[in-house]
């Protein structure tokens, strides 16, 4: 079975990690890593490595940016991860696309604007409902792809819009 490759940065030091799914086999920087890990993300983990015991807690987790704050035996460490897709973008010289800011909300299809849920100047959070678009007799709630501030509303309730038409513009 093919291994899954990751890159993990802890305290500005990079580690290459390979995991063979369903085997328990882990390699770090090409060397086999023997671990005994028990627990879960809510209650924390207990790790045994080289006959040493470690208590691990996830203090903060941003799964979108793959950034975490991990506590090991009472000491906090910032951790940044990269999966195979992040590594592919990096290999292609396109890593800047992974966290590219979204500057506007475009209509994903032609439709009719039923409701606008935000106003210029509003601070919005990722996943927040911004606008309701009726298309093909269905109501589609368009949501924010990232945290932002609304700069301008470029449509009106009741307006027919075309695919890729800018509906809401965000501050850069």
Q: Quick one: pLDDT band at residue 84, thresholds 50, 70, 90?
A: confident
Residue 64 has pLDDT above 80, yes or no: no
pLDDT given at position 121: 96
Sign of the C-alpha dihedral computed for residues 73, 74, 75 and 79 taken in this order:
positive
Every domain of the chain and the residues it spans: 4-97, 104-170
Q: Does 4-97 carry CATH code 3.30.700.30?
A: yes
pLDDT in tens, 102-160: 789 999 899 999 999 999 999 999 889 999 999 878 888 999 888 899 999 999 999 99
Inter-residue contact 68 to 79 (CB < 8 Å): yes
The H helix count followed by the E strand count for the chain is 1, 17
Helix (H, G, I), strand (E, B) or coil at 84: helix
pLDDT in tens, 113-126: 999 999 999 999 98
H or E segment and range at residue 54 = strand 52-62
| Cα-based torsion angle of the residue sequence 92, 95, 97, 101 in order, rounded to the nearest 10 degrees | -170
Rounded distance between C-alpha atoms, residue 92 and residue 155, angstroms: 37
With a pLDDT cut of 90, the percent of the chain lying above it is 49
CATH architecture of 104-170: Beta Barrel (2.40)
pLDDT given at position 60: 83
């Amino acid at each position: 079975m093919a291994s899954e490759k990751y890159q993990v940065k802890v305290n500005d030091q990079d580690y290459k990690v390979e995991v063979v799914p369903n085997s328990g086999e882990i390699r770090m920087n090409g060397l086999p890593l023997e671990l005994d890990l028990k627990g879960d993300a809510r209650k924390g983990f207990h790790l045994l490595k080289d006959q040493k015991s470690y208590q691990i807690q996830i203090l903060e987790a941003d799964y979108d940016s793959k950034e975490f704050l991990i506590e090991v035996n009472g000491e906090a460490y910032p951790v940044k991860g990269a999966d195979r897709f992040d590594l592919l973008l990096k290999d292609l010289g396109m890593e800047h696309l992974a966290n590219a800011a979204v500057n506007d909300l475009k209509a994903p299809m032609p439709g009719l604007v039923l409701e606008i849920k935000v106003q210029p100047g509003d601070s919005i959070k990722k996943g927040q409902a911004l606008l309701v678009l009726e298309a093909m007799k269905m109501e589609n709630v368009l949501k924010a792809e990232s945290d932002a501030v609304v700069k301008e509303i470029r449509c009106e309730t009741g307006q027919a819009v075309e695919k890729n038409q800018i509906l809401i513009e965000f501050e850069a």
